[in-house]
Chains A and B, each alone.
Chain A
Amino acid sequence: MSGILASMIDGLLIGSVYGLAAMGLSLIWGVMDVINLTHGAMIALGMFGMYLLFGASAANPYLLLIPVIAAGLVLGMIVYWLSVSWVIDRPQLMSLLSTFAVNMMVIGIGTAIWSTSPYNVNFSLPGITVGAYTFTGNHIAAAISAVVIALLLELFLYRTRAGKAIRAVADNRDAAELMGISSTQVLMVAFAIGIALAAASGALVSTLFPFTILSGASYQLKSFVVTVLAGLGKPFGALVAGVLLGLLEGAVSPFIAVSWIPLIEFGLFVVVLILFPRGIFGRATA
């Protein structure tokens, strides 16, 4: 098996986790026009949530995703109340700053509790070996989990009343209000789901790599890149864009030093922002 193919499969697997992380950011951004700067901190809390639950129960980490997501929903409502509810109709600078402030507080508390030392979730599934290359079981399971969660979200948004209400508010909040949808409640639910997705992606990452309380920041940056590539407010698009970003990483890394990859990614990010501010794929969403 050739190195490039192996590298691309690795990229595909990790890319779906990037995609899951970005879905939360994209959902919140699309529905309420808030760039959620607590995203990275929430991913980090997802990592530590998994670490604590796994340490306490030693249960299968993929089952533990359920309590992590539930905790993420509750946390999301708290963060919404703390930092977003009162800035919804104010200039975007305000929501950037208020979510950033909460981010600092979460990171600060996390640093006080866990320091910034690396932690691990010591769990490993048997991998699949093809020739000289082995794909770890954790990567495969994480990718599958990410896709399943993404599909569940898609079902929720398109098949349930609450999901349809979220989409209606995202499309046009005033019109949705006229139709009798209480937009405050919908915004809170959408925000909570966004945070739960971030926490879930963090929990999956914790089964792959060591993490510190600061690790969320790099996934937040990746989420920005993915969200911009996908276009705002299209959570499933974010998953696809995440996978593509992973594939891109996998495809170029055999040919250049890995340390150049961030330059390619962020260069691409800026160029795409300038040329296609509404995302590469897709229709405009306000």
Chain B
Amino acid sequence: MMLRRPLFWLILLLAAVFAWLPKHGNNVALREDLILVAVAIILTSNLNLMIGYTGYVNFGHIVFYGLGGYVGLYLMTVRSWHLIPAALTAGVAVSVLALLFGLGILRLRGAYFALATIGVLEAVQAFVSNFESWGRSTGMYVSFESYVPMGGPKHALWLTYFLIIGVMALSLMLSLGIRRSKFGLGLFAIREDEDAAIVLGVNATLYKAIIYSVSAFLPAVAGALMFFKNGMIDPSIAFEYMLSLEGIVMLMLGGQGTVAGSALGAGLYERLRSYLLTSPRLSAFHLVIAGALLLLVIRLAPGGLIGWLYRLVPRSREVIE
């Protein structure tokens, strides 16, 4: 089933290219650029599960990434766990927490839900900022010794990179898998008309809570990996509201509701952002450019780049999901 879908192979190809390019020729600068692209894709494609598939705007999606980072770093630094089990545990823990939150706030619809997600983000950030075991506002630091079992920081950073690429591929696969499943169709039904979906027998509350929880898992794993790579975590970088919002821009740019769109939007936006940051003349204007871009997309092409492609080449719908 999956094997017959072209995008499945494209995702594998993308992951392979991402993994091979910097390793070949030991191009670490490229690796650093690509890892940020990969993280953007992870966050955006999981956000797409909520916004694109289910029609619920989550302004606080970054909370999963940040909490994942905290749980992961806590396990690694305080409990001396290895990176991989720590990251997986972080994913599971954050998913469970999301399920509990979700059952509460997903009773809300539309804009009320969107607002509640901001509330959750702010409340979690405020809690972590006061939480003694996680270092309050100061956060937690990774000791250099944690890199030793992995063969020093050089190897540890490469390992983290490959793991992130893996998580990126899994994120896209997950979106692809859900898209044509019965569960996915239920989500689309909720997006189109929630009341009608309930009448048709979709257990909307459960579906929404499950997808909310599922969309938390891989971002949390990525958070654990990335903050390990970063060497430290504190509440202001873990729960950056701006990053959450940029995720929405990326998704709209690429095309919400599509797998390829989330990856394309994330990749383009992140490269643009990096370029603007290092360009002395334009670095002050990155927000203006991003804002104008978003405004143009929703005004002229609400389906994003992929939606535009669909209109141009209707048959592309079959291939580019």
How many residues on B have C-beta within 8 angstroms of the other chain's C-beta atoms? Answer: 43
Docked pose: A107 CA to B284 CA in angstroms: 10
From B104, B129, B252, B289, A97 is in contact (CB under 8 Å) with B252
A-B contact count (CB 8 A): 120
Which A87-145 residues have a C-beta within 8 angstroms of B?
87, 92-94, 96-98, 100-109, 111-112
CB pair B298–A103 under 8 Å, yes or no, is: no
Interfacial chain A residues near B118, Cβ < 8 Å: 221, 224
The stretch that binds A, out of B10-18, B109-117, B166-174, B178-186, is: B109-117
Residues in A neighbouring B309, C-beta threshold 8 A: none
Q: Given the known inter-chain contacts A92-B110, A221-B122, please indicate yes or no for A104 contacting B115, CB distance below 8 A.
A: no
Q: Which residues of B contact A (CB under 8 A)?
A: 51, 55, 57, 104-105, 107-108, 110-112, 114-116, 118-120, 122-123, 125-127, 129-130, 137, 241, 245, 248-249, 252, 284-292, 294-295, 298-299, 302
Residues of A within 8 A of B241 (CB): 217
Which A residues touch B114, using CB under 8 A?
A: 35, 92, 96
B288 touches A104 (CB 8 A): yes
B252 / chain A contacts, CB cutoff of 8 Å: 97
A262 located at the interface, meaning its Cβ lies under 8 Å from any Cβ of chain B in the complex: yes
Q: What are the residues of chain A within 8 A of B286 when measuring CB–CB?
A: 108
Please classify the interface of chain B as helix (H, G, I), strand (E, B), loop, or mixed, using the class held by over half of its residues.
helix
Q: Which residues of A contact B284 (CB under 8 A)?
A: 108, 111-112
**4 cross-chain pairs, A with B, having the tightest CB-CB distances, nearest first:** A108-B287, A104-B291, A108-B288, A105-B291
B55 partner residues in chain A, CB cutoff 8 A: 93
Most B CB atoms within 10 A — which of A82, A93, A96, A257?
A93
B127/A274 in contact, CB under 8 A? no
Question: Which residue from A102, A262, A270 sits with its C-beta under 8 Å from B295?
Answer: A102
B130 near A97 (CB under 8 angstroms)? Answer: no
Whole-angstrom distance between the Cβ of B98 and the nearest chain A Cβ: 14
Residues in A with CB closer than 8 Å to B130 are 257, 259-260, 263
